[in-house]
Structure 1
Amino acid sequence: MTQRSRIMVVDDEIANIEMIGAVLEEEYEVLFARSGEQAIELARRSRPDLILLDVVMPGMNGYDTCRRFKQDPATADVPIIFTTGLDGVESEVEGLSLGAVDYLTKPIRPASLQRRIDNHLGLKQLRDRLASLATLDPLTGLGNRRMLDAAFGTDSRRLSEAERDEWRSIILVDIDYFKGFNDLYGHGDGDICIRRVAECLIAGTRRDRDICVRYGGEEFACILHATSLPGAIHIAEKMRQDVQEMMIPHSGSEISDWLSISVGLVSGRVGLDLPMTQWLEQADQQLYQSKHGGRNRVTGRELAGR
């Protein structure tokens, strides 16, 4: 069954919400908010595919709400259509200049509303596919460094206290003696080897919010959300064991007859406010310890602070 697109309707008038809901509910999953503040919180939790936003509302008006959406990386790319009784050109220009994709004046005509939503959802799906291609590694199907940057991009100062208190773990993985593998077996087998290691890492990062990317060459990086040090070490050990159990011959390895990986990781609170580069540097130091300690092992530590 195809998953329905999620539309969020933001309007302080119950009659407008009921009318738009009746038009859209058969084709889309429809969410409702009656204020700008409520809409911002709901959007962060539900990740809508498109937002219908009233302009004139008590408290935070539609224009200010739109600014907040566009400032937040989590909602910046969500198409926004303004719905309003204001029919002046200046009002429309202001809405479009804030990043809205369309502007509908009330009373809203159902057929026009549905057609515009279909058009803008189609454009969003095309943009999403293009963005996905730009963030995917073609060899493994994993994300690439650009995806890692985007996943780490949310400013923690915009997060709630509960979100800032959440644990995050970063895992770096390196295939042991991979240059020797390529030299012995050739680059074709080397590519197959990289893909099979990627499969093991994917198996360890199946939760929706976990991310695994090909970091470069024979290196990989994983972000585990809501995962403290013991949990991250458990997952990393499972990855290491899964690679060993594939029993891929590697006569160029100095430590084993089979392919192996070395792993370094760090865990800390999201609210540490450390840039991604520092998380990666700390994880890389742990990876160095694994290599220096004999390879085919996991080394990790907890980052201090909150």
Structure 2
Amino acid sequence: MTRATILIVDDEISNIEIMNAVLEDDYEVCFSTSGEQALETARSTQPDLILLDVLMPGIDGFEVCRQLKADPELVDIPVIFTTGLGDTEDEMRGLSLGAIDYVTKPIQPAILRARVGNHVELKRLRDQLASMAVTDALTGLSNRRQMERALQTETARLARAGDWLSVIMLDIDFFKQFNDTYGHPAGDRCITMVASALTRAVKRASDLPARYGGEEFACILPSADPHGAELVAQEIRLQIQSLNIPHERSQISPFITVSIGVASARCLPGMTPDLWITEADRQLYLSKHGGRNRITVTQFDLPTLQAIAAGTP
């Protein structure tokens, strides 16, 4: 099992050294000496737990905690305040901001080790439950809920730099006829094999393949322009064709095929995730009604979509 990562935030190096000595045998430990640095380190390392000093120059621990809990990427990281204040009012303020516990200074090694261990284990269990809630049980891919959540995060992140985002939607051709011919257990095996082919085709760690529902799948491709996304779509189509799953009632092939729609755009403030879903789904519709077993790609931008919605040229 991978060791959990603990981020220690304290402007006193001696305090960091004490806590590191207590925890380093069981955890990966990183540290920051200011609130500003702590927020940067939290984003880059995604620690499993943060030990956060209250009294620091610049941004204090309370403000760091507030910003952590306001950030969708960091909100689930548990925070334990470390402080010598010993003031009930300060404890209540910290807990109200979203901290899960308090450890007072001077540090008692046994207490620190026990509380960190308890909260790391609780987070591990929460992560497992959260993973089950966003994972498709049949294929092991992300489910629609996770895809929509990831798309929300990526559109916000990529909009900061005006970067590309592409979404692929694909549908197994004539899948109802496949189920009617071979039965639902065979249909489930087909879906599982298509999911595996999809995973082989989508190679970058940042890309997210998902089961969108039924026989429909999707992929989120951050920083992929239209050409790059089309290459991924071609690889998906080839990987699925190479499965050679017989489909005697398909009207276009003796084997399982897929129709694919691709939508690409530069992320800009004001562009919502549903734009990519809507456009990719529209391209999927065109692929299906254009003969199936094909890829249709579009590149769009917000002004053009607004003009179309307004009925202007």
Asked if these proteins are the same fold (TM beyond 0.5), I'd say yes
Deviation at 1:305, TM superposition (A): 6.2
Counterpart of 2:193, as a letter, is R
Structure 1 stretches of 4+ with a deviation exceeding 4 A read none
Task: Give the 3-state SS of the residue equivalent to 1:266 in structure 2.
Answer: strand
Contact 2:202–2:236, Cα closer than 8 Å, also in 1: no
TM-score relative to the length of structure 2: 0.92
> Normalization by structure 1: what TM-score?
0.94
Counterpart of 1:175 in structure 2 is: 172
**Cα deviations across residues 261-301 of structure 1 (Å, max 9, x unaligned)?**
01111122333542221210011111112112211111112
1:125 and 2:120 are equivalent in the alignment: no
- The superposition leaves residues 63-94 of structure 1 with CA deviations (integer Å, 9 ceiling, x where unpaired) of 11101101111110101000011101111111
Tell me which residue corresponds to 2:228.
231
Where in structure 2 are the equivalents of 1:79-118 lying within 5 Å?
79-118=78-117
Number of the residue aligned with 2:33: 34
1:18-51 deviation digits (Å, cap 9, x = unpaired): 2212222222111111111111111111111100
Alignment of 1:1-306 (within 5 A): 2-154=1-153, 159=157, 164-304=161-301
Q: Deviation of residue 155 (structure 1)?
A: 7.9
SS at match of 1:154: helix
- Aligned-partner Cα distance in 1 for 2:280–2:150: 17
d(CA) in 2 for partners of 1:112 and 1:131? 28
Give the conservation status (yes or no) of the 8 Å contact 1:164–1:269.
no
State the one-letter code of the partner of 1:29. Answer: E
Q: 2:158·2:267 contact (CA, 8 Å) conserved in 1? A: no
- Residue 152 of structure 2 aligns to a residue in which SS? coil
Tell me how far apart the structure 2 counterparts of residues 77 and 292 of structure 1 sit (CA, whole Å). 44
Q: Which runs of 5+ in 1 are unaligned?
A: none
Q: Distance in 2 between matches of 1:7 and 1:246?
A: 44
Hey, what's the Cα distance between the residues in 1 that align with 2:20 and 2:270? 41
Amino acid of the residue matched to residue 299 of structure 1? T
Identical residues among aligned pairs (%): 51
Q: Is the 8 A contact 1:136 1:142 kept in 2?
A: yes
CA drift of 1:166 comes to: 2.9
* 1:265 partner SS: strand
| 1:106 CA displacement | 0.8
Query: Using the alignment, how far apart are the partners of 1:242 and 1:250 within structure 2?
Result: 16
Matches of 1:76 and 1:155, distance apart in 2: 16
Question: Aligned AA for 2:135?
Answer: L
SS at 1:119 equivalent: helix
SS at match of 1:164: coil
For the 8 Å contact 2:158–2:164, the answer to whether it is kept is no
- Secondary structure in structure 2 of the residue aligned to 1:196: helix
Alignment length (residue pairs): 303
Q: Distance in 2 between matches of 1:26 and 1:122?
A: 16
Contact 2:166 2:229 in 1 (8 A): yes
Please state how far the C-alpha of 1:232 moved relative to its aligned partner. Answer: 1.1
Cα offsets for 1:159-215 (capped at 9, x unmatched) = 487x53332211101000111111111111111111111111111224322211111
**SS of the residue aligned with 1:142?**
coil
Gap change, CA 1:73 and 1:180, over 3 Å in 2: same
CA RMSD of aligned residues (A): 1.7
Kindly state the Cα deviation for residue 137 of structure 1 after the two structures are TM-superposed.
1.1
- TM-fit CA distance, 1:104: 0.8
Q: Distance in 1 between matches of 2:56 and 2:67?
A: 15
